[in-house]
Amino acid sequence: MTRKDVNYILAIVLTVSIIVTGILGYIQSELELRRFFPHRYAAYTTLCLAGAHLYLNFGKLWRYIRGPRGGGDDS
């Protein structure tokens, strides 16, 4: 399995985790559950997955933030 495959799988799992966290947050809000642990654990899982996703894509993000290195005048 290549790094690109891991990145795609992680992105899919992260998306599912965000959806599950949102659904559990809605359930917690509607039922007025003060200590609803599944929502909290889903949020921690989402945070860890987001950190792993950022770690794998940090180079791309850094290159985007720095912008093009052309050095020429683009006017």
pTM (two decimals): 0.73
Write out pLDDT tens, residues 40-69: 999 999 999 999 999 998 988 888 888 877
Q: Is the pLDDT of residue 70 over 70?
A: no
pLDDT bucket at 32, cuts 50 / 70 / 90 = confident
Sorted by sequence, the CB contacts under 8 Å of residue 20 that are 6+ apart come out as 42
Q: Return the higher-pLDDT residue of 47 and 75.
A: 47
pLDDT bucket at 20, cuts 50 / 70 / 90 = very high
